Amino acid sequence: MADIDSAKTTFERFDKDGDGFVTADEYRAAMAAMGDLMVTGPVAEAVIAAKDTNGDKLLSFDEFWASLKK
């Protein structure tokens, strides 16, 4: 992900309800829509937890952006 605009577009694909956060369910559903049926609920929870720096079990755009810059 080279720039913040691309990152925002990608984040919005996952944030289905537009509340500014990606839940594990939203992540799993987005991955399934993109053809990755191997992302189960527990896998999605683990992915969100790995990027969730404040421990609220939600992925904010800031957390998403920070994970891309690592």
Domains of the chain: 4-69 (1.10.238.10)
For residue 1, what pLDDT band results from cuts at 50, 70 and 90? very low
| Mean of pLDDT values over 44-60 | 98
Burial class (CB in 10 A: 0-12, 13-18, 19+), 61: middle
Phi, psi of 49 (to 5 degrees): -60, -35
Contact 62, 7 (CB under 8 A): no
Task: Tell me the pLDDT tens digit for each residue of 6-51.
Answer: 999 999 999 999 999 999 999 999 999 999 999 999 999 999 999 9
pLDDT for res 70: 80
- Cα(64)–Cα(48) distance, integer angstroms: 9
For residue 69, what pLDDT band results from cuts at 50, 70 and 90? confident
Contact 26, 15 (CB under 8 A): yes
pLDDT for res 2: 64
